[in-house]
Chain A
Amino acid sequence: MASLKEFRNRIDSVKSTQKITKAMQMVAAAKLRRAQEAVENARPYAARMNNVVASLSHSMVDQPGAPTLLVGTGESKTHLVVVASADRGLCGGFNGAIARKAKDLISGLIRDGKDVKILCVGVKAFEQIKRLYGSRIIDVISLRDHKYINSGHAAEISAKILEMFEAGEFDVCTLVFSQFKNVMSQVPTSQILIPAIEGISEGGELPDLGGACYTYEPDEEEILKVLLPRNLTTQVFQALLENVAGEMGAKMTAMDNATRNAGEVIEQLTLQYNRKRQSMITTELIEIIAGAEAI
């Protein structure tokens, strides 16, 4: 039977755990607000970019000179799967959900006889994926050292993807990330980045030109050449921001639960502690009374 001191120690340790989880929850809440703002601020750019690409590709897609970034290499032999997750744990099932989505996608591709290469952004999903597909992972990019994500980080990642694409290392690129719906729900999503035409089919509405025709300066091809890499960066950036917001939301919920659990444990332990204390006092009293009667 545990002594009273042991009980007190356990209650103290649970209390300090509770303090930590409470603090983490508050930090996540503050970061969440900032991340949510960042996602919302970035949306107009992404939406407009999508519209521009949609209207441009609309006129380009059937032409023989269309860039491969837009229409693809004509093959789908090698797939690059970019898995974007968080760099830190303690955020509930957030990273697990992304890793699961990625694993489903990868195993499906392998079943179809495709070559799969994996690029991990964020170490948490990497840790889970490497057990199954370690040999297919070509690189891991960690953003742990950066306090805030800006478009420069996205540009680095998309530059890496582009470099590989130009070297002919893959045909199709898919990005797996977690879409931020609200604090309670983050939806793991996969999105095709290359060929770009696959990714813009939905949401990209064509602007109403009132019958007029677009004039392009310098010309469509030149613009697309610059626009498509930028569009890639934008999509990666958007995904990273959604991830950060989702991570913070998940962390907040997880830490809130942990704090509440700690509270329950403390209550139970306190109850046990008090019972034990009372029973000890009772025993002592009985011993005294019994001793007094014996005299």
Chain B
Amino acid sequence: MSPMADKLHFSLVSPEKELFSGGVDSVTVPGSEGDFGVYPEHMPVMTAIRPGAISVMNEEKERRIYIRGGFADVTSEGLTVLAEEAVELGDLDPAKLAQDITDAEEDVRDAETEEKREAATEQLEYLQALASAMKD
């Protein structure tokens, strides 16, 4: 048994950069077929991810990161999450988020062209998803 056997090697990467890499106790991933927990020595799985929060448990502390679009890949070496977008929920200010949502709602209302409306709606949905992920 390697000394790392009681830890799960977890790395979270987005196209722009590597956001996290290191040993953790467990990770809960929102898979496309349902949430699943990954502990050390998990069997190899590859799955698509639905937008949602992944929760990383390490030494009794929980970090929640909202991710959108990507894959989770579990091998004997650990868990790798490839995310198109990742936002640390702990870094978010609920008041600012609420303000952003109000702004986005206004944008949707005031959009002059169909294109703008679509972009604004997308942004609004994204923010709302973030907000609901925070409440969980």
Contact = CB atoms under 8 A, between A and B. Distances in A.
Interface string A232-257: 01100100000000000000000000
B45 A218 contact: no
Contact of A223 (B17, B18, B43, B48): B48
Main secondary structure of the interface of A (DSSP, over half): helix
A194 B11 CA distance: 28
A218 B50 CA distance: 12
Interface residues of A, number: 32
Contacts of B75: 207-209
A215 B33 CA distance: 13
B45 A223 contact: no
Contacts of B45: 214-217
B43 A48 contact: no
B16 interface: yes
B71 A223 contact: yes
B71 A45 contact: no
Nearest to A233: B15
A293 interface: no
A221 B31 CA distance: 16
A141 B69 CA distance: 26
A218 B32 contact: yes
Nearest to B21: A44
B111 interface: no
A52 B48 contact: no
Contact of B44 (A38, A213, A222): A213
Contacts of A227: 71
Interface string B117-136: 00000000000000000000
B104 interface: no
A237 B77 contact: no
Given A41-B17, A217-B33, A210 B76 contact: yes
Interface string B79-94: 0101010000000000
Interface of B: 11, 13-18, 21, 31-33, 43-48, 69, 71, 73, 75-77, 80, 82, 84
List the 6 closest pairs (A to B, CB-CB), nearest first. Answer: A41-B17, A217-B47, A151-B15, A45-B13, A44-B18, A207-B75
Interface of A: 38, 41-42, 44-45, 48-49, 52, 55-56, 150-151, 154, 207-210, 212-218, 222-223, 226-227, 230, 233-234, 237
